[in-house]
Amino acid sequence: MKDVYRDRQYWDDRSRDFSKLEWASRQGYVEMLVQAGDLRSDDVVLDIGTGTGIIARAVAPFVETVVGVDISEEMIKASKATAAANCECEIGDARNLRFPTGHFSRAFARMVFHGLIESGDAAAKECCRVLRPGGKFILSEGIPPSPAAEPWYTEMFRLKEERLTFSPEILQGLLSRAGLTEVQTLIHISPQVSIANWLENGSLSSDQRRELMQVHLDMPAEVRKAYNATFTESDVFLDMKFAIVVGTKPNTAD
């Protein structure tokens, strides 16, 4: 398991600028996640890795209660500042949740599991544990725009941070191993996302920002095509691809 303090420090550092990230608040992406949850007015919802509360706030109008959990104290402070009346926010770890078995009817985790280098299976099983029978786990991660672009995608992100590269099949396997069934996958494309915005709000050094921007400017032709990349004098815009994978906790009698 990765060092928890290091995880917390990294996300504490990112909390100040996280809400400025263009991709994170794209309405099309957020709306598709909410729809994937098939929400009901009596749902009790867990938002793992809630960050500044973007998903929790989007879910809140449709459910009874949302509990946003994040490992970062600074993220939780930011989330509380804009939380809906039916939203609670607290520090917690997806790998060791304090909630009793079967407490939630829905659980969301957006852009969390790529950072769980050694403990993704444990976290997925823990999220499954706190779901009621019939409850749904909605997991979303960014993925390469095409299989051919995967090596470039993995190497590019290696320059930014330690993280896993996912495919829809890998995410489906993660939920299946956790004990979830009826696993389904949706694909969302967020058109023309600004790379300059992503780099400026990622807690990166100026050297890292320059290197990563140059990597995007120099991307191979097949990667440019897969991303539908466009270029200006100061920015690169990509059609970013996300997988939304939904699994259901089976009834104990099944």
Residue 172, Cβ neighbours under 10 Å: how many?
A: 19
How many residues appear in the chain?
Answer: 254
Fold of 4-144+162-191+241-248: Rossmann fold (3.40.50)
Q: Phi and psi dihedrals of 235, rounded to 5? A: -155, 165
Residue 247 confidence (pLDDT): 98
Buried-exposed string 125-156: b where 16+ CB fall within 10 A, e elsewhere: bbbbbbbbeebbbbbbbbbbbeeebbebbeeb
What pLDDT, on the 0 to 100 scale, is given for residue 254? 45
**Structure confidence at residue 240 (pLDDT):** 98
Using one digit for the tens of pLDDT, what is the confidence trace for 213-253? 999 999 999 999 999 999 999 999 999 999 999 999 998 74
SS (H, E, C) 10-64: HHHHHCCCHHHCCHHHCHHHHHHHHHHCCCCCCCEEEEECCCCCHHHHHHHHHCC
Q: What does the pLDDT read at residue 1? A: 45
> Model pTM?
0.94
Q: Which stretches in the chain have pLDDT values below 50?
A: 1, 253-254
E-strand stretches of 112-180:
131-143
CA-CA distance, 124 to 44, in Å (whole number)? 18
**What's the pLDDT tens digit per position in 26-49?**
999 999 999 999 999 999 999 999
Calculate the dihedral angle through the C-alpha atoms of 140, 145, 151, 156, rounding to the nearest 10 degrees: -70
**Beta-carbon contacts of residue 95 (< 8 Å; ≥ 6 apart):** 1, 116, 119, 122, 123, 126
Query: How far is it, in rounded angstroms, from Cα 154 to Cα 96?
Result: 28
Q: What is the pLDDT of residue 189?
A: 98
Written in H, E and C, the secondary structure of 58-75 is HHHHHCCEEEEEECCHHH
Position 16 scores a pLDDT of 78
pLDDT reported for residue 6: 63
pLDDT of residue 192: 98
